[in-house]
Amino acid sequence: MSIPTDTHKLTFDAVRPGDVLPELRYDVTATTVVLGALATRDTRPMHHDHDFAVNRNGTRDIFLNTPNQAAWFERYLTDWSGPYGRLGRMKFRMLGSVFPGDTMVLSAAVEHVETDDVGCGWATVLVRLTVDGDLKTDCTARIALPVDHDDNPWTRRGDEWRP
Amino acid sequence: MTDTSTLPAEVEALIGRVQYEETGEFPVERGYIWTSCASVENGNPLFWDDDTAGEITAGPIAPPTMLSVWFRPHHWAPGRTQQALPLQVHFDLKELFGLPEAIMSDNTIVFHEPVRPGDVLRTRQILRSVSEPKTTKLGSGRFWVIDVEYANQRDELVGVESYTGFGYKRETS
């Protein structure tokens, strides 16, 4: 295994409203769904049992669970920000399910940037998870970015951290 | 969202009440951190490289979105007579309203202190609201909002999750 060492540091001053993040495309398989359920310790059958999903839940197949979708959003955002980016808040809304055989596409744009009262730089990013152009989940994330190359949002504690 | 006039008194009494204060069944551990990262191909060096984690986060941390992972009960445990369920308030409401199916429609997570390997977290659940009866394409039922608060062994708040669930009966055709 090679240890990842990419510590690129996206700073607050480099981000503007309207900036578009690089798209992430991923072919979802049954393994993706089951591994996501396993990784989140979720043994509910609609995330591994096709028959249950179809005949009890009334869905087409097993589908990605909520905590694993959150993990996909986190990975997508920190691929962009680098490890100094610190998530403060995520709100997401599931509009449809993501099934094996789907190619999910994560795309995003910066909606808003602000510096709060304690000097922390924040970007609000709207992330969309789509399949064949249909919106399945949208996510509004608030992520803290270093205000300059000497800043590190992870050092903020107590009242200095206002997510 | 809450319309208490349509709610049974036993449900109304649950709104705002702290329930199910629990301690996690196991300490936060790196095996699960790596399994989670593998499931979404997350190469953030904070989770793989101790030198980077030492420099940026003063040591290893867990991905913030793993909050709920640390409270999923074991699927089986010695002496347990019935299956333990995460987000028990959600399942209580399904039972109370006689709604056999449910989905989660919205989820908000607010992240506070980082969670670190070795932490033993505590949680508590608070029902915030219950809707009047609704019909969607899935069926007829009710929406509800449940907050789950998480703290570490130093009583520091590490996060709050708010879930909107929809419990329902499928329409018979």
The string of pLDDT tens digits covering residues A33-65 is 999 999 999 999 999 999 999 999 889 999 999
Å between A18 CA and nearest CA of chain B: 23
* B45:A163 CB<8 A: no
Q: How confident is the model at residue A139 (pLDDT cuts 50, 70, 90)?
A: very high
Domain annotation covers residue A2 = no
For residue A134, the enclosing domain spans 12-160
Domain annotation covers residue A96 = yes
Tokens, residue A68: 């694993």
Domain annotation covers residue A114 = yes
* E strand segments, B72-152: 101-111, 122-130, 134-135, 140-151
DSSP three-state, residue B170: coil
Domain annotation covers residue A60 = yes
Q: How confident is the model at residue A115 (pLDDT cuts 50, 70, 90)?
A: very high
Smallest Cβ–Cβ distance between A6 and the set B40, B45, B57 belongs to B45
pLDDT of residue B170: 87
Mean pLDDT by 10 residues, chain B (173 residues): 71 96 94 98 97 97 96 88 83 95 90 98 96 93 96 96 94 66
Residues composing chain B: 173
Neighboring chain A residues of B114 at a CB cutoff of 8 Å: 154
* B68:A67 CB<8 A: yes
Assign domain B4-169 to its CATH architecture. Roll (3.10)
CA B102/CA B169 separation, integer angstroms: 8
Phi then psi dihedrals of residue A14, to 5 deg: -90, 0
Å between B104 CA and nearest CA of chain A: 8
Strand partners, B157: B151
pTM: 0.89
Smallest Cβ–Cβ distance between A39 and the set B35, B112, B113 belongs to B35
C-alpha closest to that of A108 among A142, A156, A150: A142
pLDDT of residue B1: 52
pLDDT of residue B5: 63
**Domain count for chain A:** 1
Segments making up each domain of chain B, as ranges: 4-169
* B66:A88 CB<8 A: no
pLDDT of residue B87: 86
A42: domain CATH number is 3.10.129.10
> Mean pLDDT of all residues in chain A?
96
Q: Are B111 and A163 in contact (CB under 8 A)?
A: yes
Domain annotation covers residue A3 = no
